[in-house]
Amino acid sequence: MPQPSSSRAPAPGGETPAPGGEAPTAGREAPTAAGAVAAVDTVVFDLGQVLVGWDPFRAVAHAVTAEEFAEFSAEIDWTTFNHAQDAGRTMAEAREVLARSHPHRVATFDEYVAHFPLSLTGPIEGTTEIVDALLARGLRVLGLTNWSAETFEHAARSAPVIDRLEGVVVSGVEGVAKPDPAIFALLVERFGLTPAATVFVDDSPVNVDAAAAAGLRAVRFVDAAGLRADLARLGLTGD
């Protein structure tokens, strides 16, 4: 999962969201191998913080304070720890690792797992409408998400638009997570995509750069208004 929705502001050691949305390769026609210009026929969305909000503190707010959760996150390096589940490690395996390294933190992790659905905050404002508009234009719309295989079932319950996607590649199911180039190659192969004709939308600059390196037209998501403008420049919305 990406950074929680409560961390849009710069975090210690983090990166300030850029005002623009597009990576250098986005917003331009990309040549195919034959030299012709490929028209966009597919848009692939990241899910967390793009289609559905996620704030892990909400899952444990009944048990710890915000300050205590911040201490927990810093001590166990939550971003790295959670990414391992996104890449296929099970919750049971994660608990075993934590029990060895930080046994006093296991109880908080148990609360997070038990109450995970509370961490999902619902649809991100404006992006459901963007997905529906793209579908109405006849475009293929897919998902590529860093998400634990064990908790992904809750995604569409919080943001029903996810069920309207043609398909979703879930990192925890595949055992590989963004920004690993392998997951972009898997996406392209599974759905028979032409990278130059595929737009990829993600809130993570690292993932956007990885997608661009894989040949996709990568767009950085900041908010729905910015995304509409980026898609309009590609001729994909009426804005």
**CATH of 19-54+122-233 among 3.30.70.20, 1.25.40.10, 3.40.50.1000, 3.40.50.1970:** 3.40.50.1000
pLDDT at res. 237: 77
CA–CA dist 153, 168 (Å, integer): 12
CA–CA dist 67, 237 (Å, integer): 42
SS3 category, 190: helix
| In the block, residue with structure tokens 């996709």 | 216
pLDDT at res. 2: 60
Query: Counting Cβ atoms within 10 Å, is residue 16 exposed (0-12), middle (13-18) or buried (19+)?
Result: exposed
pLDDT at res. 86: 98
Find the helix or strand (DSSP H, E) in which 110 lies: helix 106-114
Q: Where are the domains of the chain?
A: 19-54+122-233, 57-119
85 Cβ contact list (under 8 Å, min separation 6): 91, 94, 148, 150, 172
CA–CA dist 156, 204 (Å, integer): 21
| In the block, residue with structure tokens 């899952």 | 59
pLDDT at res. 65: 98
Check: CB of residue 199 under 8 Å from CB of residue 44. Answer: yes
Rg of the chain on CA atoms, in Å: 18
Identify any residues that bridge with 217 across adjacent strands, giving them in sequence order. 199
CA dihedral 217, 177, 159, 62 (to 10 degrees): -140
Query: Counting Cβ atoms within 10 Å, is residue 213 exposed (0-12), middle (13-18) or buried (19+)?
Result: middle
pLDDT at res. 238: 61
pTM of the entire predicted model:
0.86
pLDDT at res. 239: 52
CA–CA dist 206, 136 (Å, integer): 30
CA–CA dist 170, 186 (Å, integer): 11
CA–CA dist 174, 118 (Å, integer): 25
Identify any residues that bridge with 45 across adjacent strands, giving them in sequence order. 143, 201
pLDDT at res. 32: 44
pLDDT one digit per residue (tens) for the chain, 239 residues: 765 644 333 322 333 333 344 443 433 344 444 445 579 999 999 999 999 999 999 999 999 999 999 999 999 999 999 999 999 999 999 999 999 999 999 999 999 999 999 999 999 999 999 999 999 999 999 999 999 999 999 999 999 999 999 999 999 999 999 999 999 999 999 999 999 999 999 999 999 999 999 999 999 999 999 999 999 999 997 65
pLDDT in tens, 120-143: 999 999 999 999 999 999 999 999
Quote the tokens at residue 168.
């979703």
234 Cβ contact list (under 8 Å, min separation 6): 26, 27, 40, 199, 217
pLDDT at res. 38: 74
Quote the tokens at residue 30.
């990309």
